[in-house]
Amino acid sequence: MTGSFDVTRYSRAAGEICRAGQFLYQRGWSPATSSNYSSRVSDRHVAITVSGRRKGQLTGADIMVVDLDGSPVQSDCRPSAETLLHTVIYRDRPDIGAVLHTHSVKATVLSRLVAEGEAVVLEDYELQKAFAGVDTHEGRVTVPVFANTQDMTSLAADTSRWLADNPGQPGYLIRGHGLYTWGRDMPECLRHVEAFEFLFECELETMRVRG
């Protein structure tokens, strides 16, 4: 039913995920066994991290395939608890090739400081140009903060609705939890993580001074 996929594309996707993990762990954005990462293998298959692995030391044995409903394909492993938050993005956005979920101190703290129902608004930063499709600092990046929950079906539906309404926005936060961002391919997605982390740190640094 979910058909078959090209194993070489899978291998390449798995390799990208492992290297992304080394980078993101070293930066302190995926501590302990937190975070999960994925990369598209076909229009119906996604390579994703197995649940509970240390992200700085990923190997092929820590990656598996799921279909767009989040069910394992050719694997006995258990995918990340948050697999559905990845697969709705691949399902709703055929242009997206990679999704990264990270757990930095800055994203965690900022997401808890924002009042309920409000978003993190980034404006007048030159670095906004690092987001795909942005070519000036004069726009505005609006990052919603979803309430944290262990009910992934409901959260996946909420994020799917938001994606449909905000096709141009590059990421969202979950309160006390972390960042989700995506890109056409893994390099673009990693650039988005770097840009978000930079901008979150700028926002927090400003709040520290302004009180």
Q: Which residues are annotated as a binding site for Zn(2+)?
A: 101, 103
Span between the terminal Cα atoms of the chain, in Å: 56
The verdict on 198 binding its own copies (CB under 8 A) reads: yes
Inter-axis angle of helices 186-210 and 7-26, nearest 10: 20
Among candidate residues 196, 199, 178, 198, the one with its CA nearest the CA of residue 37: 178
Q: Which two tokens stand for residue 124?
A: 């007048």
Rounded-to-integer distance, Cα 120 and Cα 99, Å? 20
How many residues touch its own copies under the rule CB under 8 A: the total is: 44
Stretch that binds its own copies, among 12-20, 42-50, 163-171, 192-200 (CB under 8 A): 192-200
- Residue 91 burial class via C-beta count within 10 angstroms: exposed 0-12, middle 13-18, buried 19 and up: buried
The verdict on 134 binding its own copies (CB under 8 A) reads: no
Nearer to its own copies, 77 or 130 (CB): 130
Nearer to its own copies, 2 or 33 (CB): 33
The verdict on 176 binding its own copies (CB under 8 A) reads: yes
Which position among 127, 132, 134, 152 is part of the footprint of its own copies (CB under 8 A)? Answer: 127
Which position among 50, 119, 132, 204 is part of the footprint of its own copies (CB under 8 A)? Answer: 204
Residue 16 near residue 98, CB atoms below 8 Å = yes
**Residues contributing to the site for its own copies (CB under 8 A):** 31-34, 54, 103, 105-106, 108-109, 112-113, 124-127, 129-130, 135-138, 148, 150, 174-178, 191, 194-195, 197-198, 201-202, 204-211
